Structure 1
Amino acid sequence: MKDPFFSKKRILLLGSGELGKELVIESKRLGLEVVAIDRYEEAPAMQVADYSRVIDMGDKNILKNVIKEFMPDYIVPEIEALSIEALKELEDEGFNIVPNARTVEITMNRDKIRDLASKDLKIKTANFDYIFEFDDLERKADKIGFPLLLKPLMSSSGKGQSLVETKNDLQIAWEQAQANSRGKVKGVIIEEFINFDFEFTLLTVRKESGENIFCLPIGHVQSNGDYQCSWQPIEINESLITEAKKMTTTILNNLNGSGLYGVEFFVKGNEVIFSELSPRPHDTGMVTLVSQNINEFELHLRAFLNLPIPHINLIEPSATRVILSDQEYLNPIYKGLNEALEFENTKVLIFGKQVSRKGRRMGVVLATNKDINLARQNADEAALRIKVSSK
């Protein structure tokens, strides 16, 4: 078998946020050359990549031209807001899209992944419907029942998502969903609010052979659809894990592209319910930077590069807590790092974003401890000590 690294491989990253930054770092450790693309200058992944470009990734021709300029061996989408038409055409021309153009298209739009899971594969999800005109909203809201969730069909990190308690809140929620929709998609998804007991992420590695490898489940907490903290492992009944793995296998057998997938589930009583799926490293999975012998970013690379993946081991129970900004700053600074790093077995990752906004993730604290509760406590307390500020 030919060594895949006989000649230097080049990957092109579409989207250059904090997850992309970690993927670039792992790529460089494997001797890869990396091109980082995003819509703004000095995005986190650009700061560690070999080359970078700022473009409108939603413009098919611009995107295709830049990709052909660099002629990468692998095109790795890290965000949803891009031209799927460009990726389809490039795939037809022989370019390698990770995991494949069809999967990127299905998972970038909530309607497509929900239709696939619920209607085609008969997997348990929350009740949902689609709305493209405000006049239909009240009628379908009554059908779903209050409280309910209103989300853009395409967005990221929970942007534009609202918990709607009454009919009086529908107008504001509709406007927020439309304002935060990515791309040209203007519809919304209306979804049953499940008062779940807890939620978790099942990081799953899909190998080129079709084998699925599962990491230990990761517990997490979200606020308005945006990740706040995560921990691994999470105490959960084995029967629920088995059911989640079964659902995941059913979906990935259909999508069938190698790489790492972040699959989210709700748990209510003895029932596990499919929530979301991302065909790339997941924000809740940043905990694997300290919890596992092979972190999620290296697993993603090994999967689509068809490199060996030995047994994935838990090194030590670990937790994360995000560092949030409370307002907008240009070139922010971070106060309290000394105090945060006084906690044993604790790391701080600053993402390097040039602009902060209220509620924007600017960094993350990682903590390990033999006691998962102490790991979570240390991550929480260390994160509280760090303040995003202006010069």
Structure 2
Amino acid sequence: MNKRIWVLGDGQLGAMLAHAGKPLALDVRPVDIMTPTDEQLPLAPQDIITAEREQWPESALSLQLSTHPHFINGPVFGRLADRFTQKSLLDELQVATAPWEAVDNHSNTETLHQRYGERVLLKRRTGGYDGKGQHWLKQAENSVIPTDWRNHAIAEQAIDFDEEVSLVGARGQDGQCHFYPLTLNLHQDGILMASIAPLSRLQPLQAQAEKMLSTIMQGLEYVGVMAMECFRLGDKLLVNELAPRVHNSGHWTQAGCHIDQFQLHLRALCNLPLHRPQVNFQCVMVNLIGIDKDDRWLSLPNAELFWYNKEVRPGRKVGHLNLSAHNLQQLTDSIQQLQHWMPMQYQAPLAWILAEFAHA
């Protein structure tokens, strides 16, 4: 009988986990936990539970899943979903992150500016992603703390970083950790637009990043794939955010590695053999955000399309393209073709990709 894994959430990450489970003969079943229902699932004692998100609404269904004895990493999700407890963990483990503090009834903007400078970023403790749940305090604009953010936010020092990178790794049940190469990311309005990996110029930072993420996963006794988003400041990394799950910046592994992040996560959960994934070639990932599906993308000889079959709305992730970069001329031609086909908001990210390879 195939091992059965239930996924809290049935979005694109759950769908890709289910797809990755098929070659391993794993029965991966994403569960819609956003639609209220009295349904109970036929869970068996040996089933495994994972999640594609850090938070979920409480319901009979989500409680049935999250209280199962084989809900792997159960205590970790809530701890990392709250930016206060996530930041506290990083400080406790002595992993570098931006200076911060909780925002409460005693917080005032003058003191925050004295401690952290002219620009201070407020982040909601829970729920904010893709640029949401953030509020800037700018001394020049006399910004104030929104009343309803007190006791529900943290304040961070603004970081003038050189660029954003991420590391995706996995920890097995035996405590061994395995990592993909560092990924270079470009965000626009707080939303990930494109990723490139691997890059030889990031290699000198690989050991530092692996030590940081290994410390975190070991400290949590975490099992499975975790993503660590970082700011690069010269030759130093600061953790921005952690995701206890497969991650958007790891999608390039579907094309570029012999074990992608989804299969690596399932292997770890099921105690199957783990080892460092082999990188077959360099990849570029382009997120498809708020745009209609265009079958012309399929004409690109080095492109793999992953379409999420969601309703297209502004700012919504509806798919991604993975472009292999083992042939530089072919990659350049494909990116230039996408510049002709894609709307204005894609011109800067596509130009960023071309510039990165021009300087490689």
Same fold, TM-score > 0.5, yes or no: yes
Which residue of 2 is the match for residue 43 of structure 1? none
Indicate conservation of the 8 Å contact 1:321/1:383, yes or no.
Answer: no
Aligned-partner SS, 1:294: coil
TM-score, normalised via structure 1 length: 0.77
Higher deviation after alignment, 316-325 or 149-158: 149-158
1:166/1:253 CA distance change after superposition, 3 Å = same
Which residue of 1 is the match for residue 95 of structure 2? 123
Q: Within the alignment, does 1:26 sit opposite 2:20 as a pair?
A: yes
CA distance in 2, matches of 1:377, 1:153: 43
Deviation at 1:27, TM superposition (A): 1.8
Q: Within the alignment, does 1:112 sit opposite 2:93 as a pair?
A: no
Q: Within the alignment, does 1:300 sit opposite 2:265 as a pair?
A: yes
Number of aligned residues: 341
- Kindly provide the CA deviation profile for residues 73-99 of structure 1, in whole angstroms up to 9, marking residues without a partner as x: 11111112226999998799762122x
CA distance in 2, matches of 1:91, 1:351: 24
1:274/1:311 CA distance change after superposition, 3 Å = closer
Deviation at 1:310, TM superposition (A): 4.0
Alignment of 1:201-240 (within 5 A): 201-240=166-205
Correspondent of 1:253 among 215, 218, 238: 218
**In the alignment, residue 71 of structure 2 is paired with which amino acid?**
I
Alignment of 1:4-43 (within 5 A): 7-40=1-34
Aligned-partner SS, 1:200: strand
**In the alignment, residue 305 of structure 2 is paired with which amino acid?**
V
Q: Within the alignment, does 1:349 sit opposite 2:306 as a pair?
A: yes
CA RMSD of aligned residues (A): 3.3
Which residue of 2 is the match for residue 81 of structure 1? 55
1:269/1:135 CA distance change after superposition, 3 Å = closer
Aligned-partner SS, 1:111: helix
CA distance in 2, matches of 1:85, 1:208: 29
**In the alignment, residue 359 of structure 1 is paired with which amino acid?**
G
CA distance in 2, matches of 1:114, 1:373: 43
- Kindly provide the CA deviation profile for residues 238-266 of structure 1, in whole angstroms up to 9, marking residues without a partner as x: 44222111111211111112101111221
TM-score, normalised via structure 2 length: 0.83
1:104/1:87 CA distance change after superposition, 3 Å = farther
Aligned-partner SS, 1:228: strand
Alignment of 1:1-391 (within 5 A): 7-40=1-34, 54-55=35-36, 66=40, 69-71=42-44, 73-82=47-56, 95-98=69-72, 100-118=73-91, 120-133=92-105, 136-137=108-109, 139-155=111-127, 156-166=129-139, 168=141, 170=143, 174=146, 187-325=152-290, 334=293, 336-338=294-296, 340-353=297-310, 355-370=311-326, 375=331, 378=334, 381-382=337-338, 385=341
- Runs (5+) with no aligned partner, structure 2: 344-360
Indicate conservation of the 8 Å contact 2:225/2:246, yes or no.
Answer: yes
Aligned-partner SS, 1:203: strand
1:373/1:188 CA distance change after superposition, 3 Å = farther
CA distance in 1, matches of 2:146, 2:188: 19
